[in-house]
Amino acid sequence: MIRAVIGETADVRETGLPLPLRKTPHKPPALPLKAKEATQYQIKSYLSPLHLTLLTLKNVFSLFKSSPHIRSTAYFSPGDDCLNAILAFIGAATSSLKICVFTISDDRITQAILAAHRKGISVQVLTDNEKLFDKGSDIRQLAKAGLQVKVDHTANHMHHKFALADQRHVLTGSYNWTRSAALYNHENVLVSSEPQVVADYSREFQRLWQEMSFFKDVAGQTPRT
């Protein structure tokens, strides 16, 4: 979130990324709260969707290379911030991806996962059987492409939404990996490289991986509408 315009840059305190803006003749005085909020809205309205997307991608990639003092970054929807964070997270992985989500139906995310698989990155997917054969579900596509996919067939839901990259970074939050989450829902994503948090999520993934069974497509099964 952009806080204030100072000189030729906007100070982005959450990310530390300076954004070039039009030059101001002098440093403005402190603004009242409502004036600050109006300024934030006006500044963000000047940034193109492509500019905002590039900022999100740069922010996630910088987290992967960050110092020990920079651990976590949060993103929110509606809008593309959460989606772009997920795409950047997947794209930044170099050795492994462990994905644990209720469902995947956003083909943009699916294509990023498949691209990682084609690069030789080890990809494991855990998901729930509730949405497995819904129209738009991409789980079967991932399994057919050769990814390791396991499914929860219990009476309860596997309702997690998190992923691990290279056993060093975790992405988590309320955001379902669907288009409606980006377009309509109020959701959040958190990307963290905090070692203890990553270790906790890694243990949970391994526990579920041991409990669940590999996906087996059902001959003649048609997607539900």
- Distances from the Cα of 108 to the Cαs of 87, 94, 112, 158, in angstroms? 8, 19, 6, 22
| Other C-beta atoms lying within 10 Å of the C-beta of residue 128 | 21
Catalytic residue among 11, 80, 117, 166: 166
Q: How far apart are the first and last CA of the chain?
A: 39
Q: Which of 159, 186, 200, 217 is catalytic?
A: 159
Tokens 């829902």 appear where? 185
For the question of residue 159 being annotated catalytic, the response is yes
| Residue of 131, 150, 160, 161 with catalytic role | 161
CA distance 11 to 72: 18
The answer to whether 152 is a known catalytic residue is: no
Q: Is 27 marked active-site? A: no
8 Å CB contact between 177 and 161: yes
Other CB atoms within a 10 A radius of the CB of residue 126 amount to 24
Q: Active-site residue numbers? A: 159, 161, 166
